[in-house]
Amino acid sequence: MTAYLLKRLVIAIATLILASMVVFAVLEILPGDPARLMLGLNASADQVELLRDQMGLNAPLVLRYLHWVGGLLSLDFGRSYTYSVPVIDLVRERMAVSLPLALIALALSTVIAIPVGLYSASRRGRAGDTIAMGAAQLGVAVPNFWFALMLIYLFAVWLRLVPAGGFPGWSAGVWPALKSLLLPAVALALPQAAILARVARSALIEVLNEDYIRTARAKGLPYRAVLWRHALRNAMIPVLTILGLQFAFLIAGTIIIENVFYLPGLGRLVFQAITQRDLIVVESIVMLLVVAVIAVNLVVDVSYAFVDPRLRGRQ
Amino acid sequence: MSLLEIENLSLTIGDTPILKGVELSVAPGEVMGLVGESGSGKSMTALTVMQLLPHAARASGRVSFDGIDILAATEDQMCALRGDDIGMVFQEPMTALNPVKTIGEQVAEGIRWHTKASRAEAEDRARKMLDRVGLPEAKFPLSRYPHELSGGQRQRVVIAIACALKPKLLIADEPTTALDVVLQAQILDLLRGLVSENRMGLLLISHDLAVVTEMADRITILRHGEVMEAGDTARTLSEQLHPYTRQLALASMHVPARAKAHSTGQGKPLLEVEGVTRDYPGRRTSLFKPAPPIRAVDDVSLSLAPGQSVALVGRSGCGKSTLARMILALDKSTSGTIRFRGETITGRSEAELKPARRDMQVVFQDPYGSFDPRQKVEKLVAEPLHVLEKKPTSAERREMVAHALHEVGLGVSDMDKYPHEFSGGQRQRLSIARAIITRPKLVVADEPVSALDVSIRAQILDLFAELNQKLGIAYLFITHDLTVARAIADEVLVMHDGRIVERGKTGDVLDHPQSEAAKALVAAAPDLHRAIARRMQEQG
């Protein structure tokens, strides 16, 4: 078990290092001089050069990379050019919106997908299965921003149950804050749930054909008990894999959804930072998202070992 | 009064009739053997009793168990019967257990479900049951997972699950078919013990007449879903009144007619294996110490003359398949040399091996798994032709495939069919056609008939014998089945724990085994003659 976990950890760290190099390199190659951008069009070449020196932009590439990584590790992400505040403050503030949003969406998609998958798999080929999978097909096909607009129209404009957008801040109380995150979370979760439900269904159908399911039935367990006790856990392995992979798409989805709902989250921040060439902010947030995706996949790898004893090895 | 009574049972799946008017009964404490070839409806009969049939299946007739009308029982009633009064053991122990649950959980689960016992009580009973089936606590704690057990051990767990609540009836569907003969003897012994301890009825399903004869008091012979003959085992098999019974009995003892074995020992050997060893990396127990290697094949030497037929016999896991893979240059040896036609093949590159590959081919056990289902026979059988020096034209290729098919008893028209259009026996003929198309000098056959029914198996053994005579192909048969060795091999090599422990003429080794391993194999191998004789003697 320890050997397996250690190996996963080493792989995660190696991926992280590689990703940081790529992020750094891409922003190096991109056109646009941050110093010139900050000083405006009227600045003289000397002024720009001076600022570049001050910002450390003239140092050798390797040094700048190490400096940047060192900063990331000590949570010193630098200062935003456009907001003139430390990036870490921006991130902290925006994270309070994006992190709960992503977590709610992830939980929601799992909670929807697994029962739908179970239901469909146990009713394979019958009307219920066809309807559930038809809905899932629709969920996969419909883009989440359009879906978000429909949700706003239905629940905010028509039923007036939740606000159409914006975020009151956690200081306004937990419930109002959660309420304004609800629609965006649903909009994010449903397409994910649709994919996940299809994966869960096919994984379950495969497992239900296994010999050990027949053994369990021969013990006298009713079909439902066999489904929950024997089939589900075995079907979790492919479901977990997809869940880990989907997390990256979920993060990408927040950029769109936060814009649709006017949420002051990381997604919106990174979108604005890109349009304003606030490269330090972009770098920092992209790295943060990379860390999040890698961490989630590490968690998935660890949970494999919990689900499947064959990965744990002999104790 | 019978425990299980099946009267006039008919079964259809969709529009296909599976069973036609089956009659069968099992009394308490009785072993009923249900024999038939694949597709005869043996398993479907068992699944009807369990009511675990596929959705589209419709049964009519009467099945009564202990006074309960099974065909009319509700699912709840069946759940109460299954695992409590009727237990079932399946063929494939490797996949019959849930890989993510411990053996303790899996044995205790049924006990808890039926008796509402507490977890501790149920685990206690599970522990006792595992002890009974030969998995003692010291080596097999409840916390073991299935992947930590071998096939024979897993089958013991499956039997423990089925017998945990002392069922009145146990249905065992080919319980030993996937095991080697020594394990088979042990498992049959265990089943026999459980029957006599609990006066349990046993419905033993098997395609192996010898196994059933050793075990069953009465026997029912099934063919195409109909009962051919039923009655007392010893009488049925000694008198062999029904032609089908006679056919089965003859087929299961079939020895192909072979002219005198090819003269051996003269001239250069075709294959020479010298001091070959194969180590596999062992499982790491510590992060810092390298794991000790596992020695699968240990200093093995052998030689094979052109046209000679040799059987390499041994229990599962003895290293015989690893050795075969090294001879075929599909696996690298750790040390030692293998020479084929006088040339060393160990340590050669794939390009250098090409001429050697032309002269050695392989036939695998599973005629279902060894063909790509989406390709036509012509392409499948022509597969090895890429090792020829000159690529044949498509007309030449067709000609060669037609010839090979003819030699294995198939027609030219079979060339444009797909594998699923053939029966198991025909598919094994296809794999033999594929093996001989390059006119090889050596064919390595890994359990080539163990997946086949007895009558098909007799035909395939005949085919092997015929090709040996006609084309002078040398064979290396890898098998745990001594009847195969007896039928087709000039010489037998007995392998145990990676070493060859005995070798000699087939008759000498099988009739007078010297080594412990050979003795164990011979003693455990079911033999129809011996089994009938013993039954007759018991009954006086």
Provide, as residue numbers in chain A, all residues whose Cβ is less than 8 Å from the Cβ of B161.
215, 219
Task: Write out the H or E segment, with its range, that includes residue A55.
Answer: helix A45-55
Beta bridge partners of B309: B475
∠ Cα B103 B105 B107 (to 5°) = 65
In the β-sheet with B201-206, what is the strand arrangement from edge to edge?
B86-89, B169-173, B201-206, B31-36, B218-223, B226-232
Whether B174 is covered by a domain: the verdict is no
Write down the pLDDT at residue B266.
Answer: 60
Q: How many helices (H) and strands (E) does chain B have?
A: 19, 20
Whether B475 is covered by a domain: the verdict is yes
Rounded to an integer, what distance in angstroms lies between the CA atom of residue B184 and that of residue B269?
36
Write down the pLDDT at residue A71.
Answer: 86
Of residues A198, A209, A207, the one with CA closest to residue A235: A207
Rounded to an integer, what distance in angstroms lies between the CA atom of residue B391 and that of residue B382?
11
- Is the Cβ–Cβ distance between B27 and B13 less than 8 Å? no
Measured distance between the N- and C-terminal CA atoms of chain B, rounded to whole angstroms:
25
Above 90 in pLDDT, residue A274?
no
Whether B345 is covered by a domain: the verdict is yes
- Is the Cβ–Cβ distance between B111 and B165 less than 8 Å? yes
Write down the pLDDT at residue A157.
Answer: 84
Which of B95, B113, B161 comes nearest A211 by C-beta?
B95
Rounded to an integer, what distance in angstroms lies between the CA atom of residue B341 and that of residue B530?
42
> In angstroms, what CA-CA distances link B80 with A193, A212, A254, B65?
37, 19, 51, 13
Write down the pLDDT at residue B37.
Answer: 85
- Is the Cβ–Cβ distance between B38 and B207 less than 8 Å? yes
Write down the pLDDT at residue B205.
Answer: 95
Task: Write out the H or E segment, with its range, that includes residue B485.
Answer: helix B482-488
Above 80 in pLDDT, residue A124?
yes
Percent with pLDDT over 90 in chain A: 29
- Is the Cβ–Cβ distance between B354 and B387 less than 8 Å? yes
Going from the N-terminus, what domains does chain A have, and what CATH number goes with each? 97-312 (1.10.3720.10)
The one-character DSSP state at B341 is: T
Rounded to an integer, what distance in angstroms lies between the CA atom of residue B437 and that of residue B429?
12
Question: Chain A: residue nearest B155 by CA?
Answer: A215
| Helices A232-260 & A87-122 angle (0-180, nearest 10) | 130
Provide, as residue numbers in chain A, all residues whose Cβ is less than 8 Å from the Cβ of B95.
210-212
Whether B505 is covered by a domain: the verdict is yes
Please name the residues in contact with A210: beta carbons below 8 A apart, sequence gap of 6 or more.
Answer: A234, B95
The DSSP-derived string for A232-261 is HHHHHHHHHHHHHHHHHHHHHHHHHHHHHT
Whether B503 is covered by a domain: the verdict is yes
Mean pLDDT in chain A?
87
Please name the residues in contact with B351: beta carbons below 8 A apart, sequence gap of 6 or more.
Answer: none
Beta bridge partners of B68: B65
In the β-sheet with B360-363, what is the strand arrangement from edge to edge?
B360-363, B442-446, B474-479, B309-313, B491-496, B499-505
Mean pLDDT on A155-165: 83
Q: Do A3 and B287 touch (CB under 8 A)?
A: yes
Whether B403 is covered by a domain: the verdict is yes
Write down the pLDDT at residue B103.
Answer: 95
- Is the Cβ–Cβ distance between B167 and B200 less than 8 Å? yes
Write down the pLDDT at residue B360.
Answer: 92
Q: Do A212 and B99 touch (CB under 8 A)?
A: yes
Environment class of residue A87 by beta-carbon count within 10 Å: exposed (0-12), middle (13-18) or buried (19+)? buried
pLDDT in tens, A51-99: 777 777 777 888 888 888 888 888 888 888 788 888 889 888 888 899 8
Q: Do B52 and A219 touch (CB under 8 A)?
A: no
Of residues A34, A33, A15, the one with CA closest to residue A78: A34
Question: Chain A: residue nearest B78 by CA?
Answer: A220
Structure tokens at B47: 């699944």
Whether B8 is covered by a domain: the verdict is no
Report the SS3 class of residue B150.
coil
Q: What is the CA radius of gyration of chain A?
A: 24
Measured distance between the N- and C-terminal CA atoms of chain A, rounded to whole angstroms:
8
Please name the residues in contact with B410: beta carbons below 8 A apart, sequence gap of 6 or more.
Answer: B426, B429, B430, B433
Q: Do A222 and B79 touch (CB under 8 A)?
A: yes
- Is the Cβ–Cβ distance between B318 and B502 less than 8 Å? no
Beta strands in B238-397 (DSSP E): 271-280, 294-304, 309-313, 335-340, 343-344, 360-363
Rounded to an integer, what distance in angstroms lies between the CA atom of residue B481 and that of residue B77?
42
pLDDT category of residue A252 using cuts at 50, 70 and 90: confident
Q: What is the 3-state secondary structure (H, E, C) of B197-212?
A: HHCCEEEEEECCHHHH
Report the SS3 class of residue B439.
coil
∠ Cα A253 A257 A260 (to 5°) = 150
Task: Write out the H or E segment, with its range, that includes residue B59.
Answer: strand B57-65
Write down the pLDDT at residue B259.
Answer: 63
Residue type, B190: L
Rounded to an integer, what distance in angstroms lies between the CA atom of residue A228 and that of residue A231?
6
Question: Chain A: residue nearest B163 by CA?
Answer: A219
Please name the residues in contact with B65: beta carbons below 8 A apart, sequence gap of 6 or more.
Answer: B3, B4, B5, B49, B81, B85, B86, B169
Of residues B168, B492, B434, the one with CA closest to residue B313: B492
Report the SS3 class of residue B146.
helix
Q: How many CB pairs under 8 A join A and B?
A: 83
Whether B439 is covered by a domain: the verdict is yes
Provide, as residue numbers in chain B, all residues whose Cβ is less than 8 Å from the Cβ of A313.
283
Report the domain count for chain B: 1
Which residues on chain A place their C-beta less than 8 Å from a C-beta of chain B? 2-3, 6, 210-212, 214-223, 225, 229-230, 233-234, 307-310, 313-314
- Is the Cβ–Cβ distance between B178 and B151 less than 8 Å? yes
Of residues A201, A286, A304, the one with CA closest to residue A23: A286
Above 50 in pLDDT, residue A314?
no
Above 0.90 for ipTM, yes or no?
no
Please name the residues in contact with B507: beta carbons below 8 A apart, sequence gap of 6 or more.
Answer: B486
Q: Do A220 and B79 touch (CB under 8 A)?
A: yes
Question: Chain A: residue nearest B159 by CA?
Answer: A215
Tokens 């050793």 sit at which residue?
Answer: B214
Q: Do B100 and A233 touch (CB under 8 A)?
A: yes
pLDDT in tens, B369-407: 788 888 999 999 998 988 887 888 889 999 999 999 988
Of residues B475, B481, B483, the one with CA closest to residue B436: B475
Q: Which domain holds residue B346?
A: 271-532
Which residues on chain B place their C-beta less than 8 Å from a C-beta of chain A? 50, 52, 75-76, 79-84, 87-88, 90, 92, 95-102, 106, 109-110, 113-114, 145, 147-148, 158, 161-162, 283-284, 287
Write down the pLDDT at residue B323.
Answer: 93
Task: Write out the H or E segment, with its range, that includes residue A10.
Answer: helix A2-29
Structure tokens at B377: 């026979």
pLDDT in tens, B73-100: 999 999 999 999 999 998 888 889 999 9
Question: Chain A: residue nearest B81 by CA?
Answer: A220
Please name the residues in contact with B536: beta carbons below 8 A apart, sequence gap of 6 or more.
Answer: B234, B238
Tokens 């000699």 sit at which residue?
Answer: B504
Which one of A123, A207, A212, A234 makes the best mutation probe of the B interface by having the most chain B beta carbons within 10 Å? Answer: A212
Q: Do B99 and A234 touch (CB under 8 A)?
A: yes
Per-run averaged pLDDT (10 residues), chain B, 540 residues = 92 91 95 90 93 90 94 94 94 90 94 93 94 90 91 92 94 89 90 92 92 93 94 90 90 78 66 92 69 88 92 90 91 92 87 88 82 90 86 89 90 88 85 91 90 83 89 91 88 93 92 93 88 82
Beta bridge partners of B32: B203, B218
Contacts 24+ apart (CB under 8 A), B118-126: B125/B164, B126/B160, B126/B164
Rounded to an integer, what distance in angstroms lies between the CA atom of residue A128 and that of residue B517?
58
Instruction: Tell me the whole-structure pTM to 2 decimals.
Output: 0.83
